[in-house]
Chains A and B, each alone.
Chain A
Amino acid sequence: MQPDTQPDTRGREAPAIVVRGLTKSYGDTIALRGIDLEVPPGTVYGLLGPNGAGKTTAVRILATLLKPDEGSAHIHGIDVLAKPDMVRQIIGLAGQFAAVDELLTGRENLELVGRLYHLGGNEPRRRAQDLLERFELAEAADRTVRTYSGGMRRRLDLAASLVNRPAVLFLDEPTTGLDPRSRLGLWDIINDLVREGATLLLTTQYLEEADRLCQRVAVIDEGSVIAEGTTDELKDRMGGSVLELRVADSSRVRRAAQLLEPLSDAAPQVTEDLGLITLPAEENAMGLLAEVARRLDDQGIEVVDLAIRRPTLDDVFLSMTGRGISPDAKQTPSPNGGGAR
């Protein structure tokens, strides 16, 4: 067996996924500009970034669907490029769309996948039944998938990616297009999977999702990893907290930002159409709050919202790229107050 799947001398297990210098272009479009990743086993690792950042390309390479131009990737010590057949034995993939057969029943879909994993005898049937029960699809098991709701299809798709009990599971935008309730349901399932020891690599453009599910996150923008670490580490880079305010008249937001500029080391971040300004508030947040209020009041700029909060991953992304991750990121449903506004 490959030596690097053994625990190393410090007793810490070797990474489940190691990626080095991965590059990929499609014609003139550069999708990946050399990314490095190390995913510890038994964790949820998030690739966070806007549409077109290269997340899906990275997942497709790791799932053996695509060869990179340069670089290497190993999953539990197995070289993805040299031994794709071996890698396929130990991974599961759930893509952006529910890749299930509409005209088969839920059970038939799972049994087909089991057969294609070459599970012998009754095993495909047994695992299909287990998974249907686990994902609350037992009642609908013998209905064709076209009668399923969007959430049921996603659950079935996820079940299909678990038929071989994968050591590493890739989830590409697992909750895109789901209503908030189905999204929460899927989050619970994902948490359960990790508790059972699987390693998950998921891509998302929802900060809240990354925040809630992932132990570590790599922030990807334009094909490069621009930040990597635990979600807390990333937020700490922003300093302790963030001051956020919204001006009533968004046409005056530039002027307001100018007034606040001298108050902080970092330049204020402006989301113009929303009239939003955020400002790192490292020490003496209350003093800063008072000063901000006084300055804007002096100039007659009306403020409708003014608060100090913990930084979110969006602040991290914004401070590094000057853009938000997704235009609707702040409007995503926040069942546990993740948006903090």
Chain B
Amino acid sequence: MSEQLRESELADRPPASSPVAQIKDRGGRLEEMRCGLSCALGDSRAIAGRYLKHYRRQPQLLIFSTVQPVMFVLLFRYVFGGAIDISQLPADSYVNFLLPGILVQATTFGATNTAVGLAEDLRAGVIDRFRSLPMSRVAVLAGRTLSDLVRNTFVVLLMTAVGYLVGFRFQGGPAAAILALAVVVCFSYSLSWIYAFVGLATKGAETAQTASFVVTFPIVFASSVFVPVEGFPSWLQAFATYSPITKAADTVRALALGGLPVLEPLLWVAGWTAGILLVFMPLAILRFRRGE
């Protein structure tokens, strides 16, 4: 479809000459310019490229998903870790228990960036500009979440490396290790869509930031990320046991350490991931197209 447009565009014409004539040239062909799958993929890639450039130009955008989890690793490994009773853990050392949880925590906190980024784009009118273009209606969100996926892959590898420096070791073999990292990346991809919706539904980047964090922080701490949920009071345990964060952390931990039940938490986290995508993808896309 772009071929036809290109031909009419490339015809030697000075800039903006006789736009009305251009319309007549394009005439019947305009109808055919619906954005199909390959067009949607191309648009998404262009948008993802835009967001990835942001990380290069403003590396402090990565602080939340890199420096902060590194501090958590050090803090929990060396400060709180000594006070934790290892005999209660399904692991041979606290750092081995901790690091799989940190992978989930880092990508979850990092996902709040999506809300802030989109809220900022909305405020600045960038979303309106994109919506006025003949581009795919899902590409802005697909591109944004695609860039999150790339960032999360980077964060997960970085945190694994940091983990190795402070004593963490995969114990379930390379295939299980790769699967563990894949689970984190897939699960956090679904979270990106929640925060995409939050970013488009709140007014302003600060509100999006606050709204995201106020919810995210307690949910991440009330999970098996840092300590086993068995130590929680029963009312909290009831929540934490089924929390998607707990299920993700348990799955990653079981795959990373070996010898723990994998299937049950894996099915749970797969269900959570699919459920979140099923609900929040349409919600976010509808919100993006609001008013159209």
Contact = CB atoms under 8 A, between A and B. Distances in A.
Contacts of B49: 112
A88 to B, nearest CB: 4
A298 B27 CA distance: 71
Contact of A103 (B20, B23, B28, B54): B54
B17 A197 contact: yes
A1 B24 contact: yes
A240 interface: no
A162 B125 contact: no
Given A104-B53, A120-B3, A166 B130 contact: no
A64 B46 contact: no
A5 B125 contact: no
Contact of B128 (A92, A95, A101): A95
Contact of B291 (A67, A91, A100): A67
A86 B30 contact: yes
A201 B102 CA distance: 54
Contact of B125 (A42, A97, A117, A198): A97
Interface string B265-292: 0000000000000000000000000011
A117 B133 contact: yes
B53 A197 contact: no
A161 B139 CA distance: 19
B132 A118 contact: no
Interface stretch (B4-12, B175-183, B222-230, B241-249): B4-12
B128 A116 contact: no
B33 interface: yes
Contacts of B133: 88, 113, 116-117
A103 B53 contact: yes
Nearest to A196: B16
B82 interface: no
Contact of B292 (A66, A95, A123, A193): A66
Interface string B136-161: 00010000000000000000000000
Contact of B6 (A89, A101, A123, A161): A123
B20 A41 contact: yes
Most chain A CB neighbours (cut-off 10 Å) among B57, B124, B134: B134
Nearest to B19: A167
Most chain B CB neighbours (cut-off 10 Å) among A42, A112, A166: A112
A16 B21 CA distance: 12
Contacts of B9: 119, 123
A7 to B, nearest CB: 10
A99 to B, nearest CB: 4
B26 interface: yes
Interface string A32-52: 000000000110000000000
B58 interface: yes
A229 to B, nearest CB: 23
Given A197-B17, A197-B20, A118 B39 contact: yes
15 contacts: A1-B28, A41-B20, A66-B292, A89-B134, A90-B30, A99-B125, A112-B50, A116-B133, A118-B39, A118-B135, A165-B19, A165-B22, A168-B19, A196-B16, A199-B19
Interface of B: 1-3, 5-6, 9-10, 14-20, 22-24, 26-28, 30-31, 33-35, 39, 42-43, 46, 49-50, 53-54, 57-58, 124-126, 128-135, 139, 291-292
Given A13-B20, A64-B131, A67-B292, 19 more contacts: A41-B20, A60-B291, A64-B292, A65-B292, A85-B33, A85-B35, A88-B132, A92-B132, A99-B125, A113-B133, A116-B130, A118-B1, A118-B33, A118-B135, A119-B5, A121-B6, A123-B10, A161-B129, A199-B19
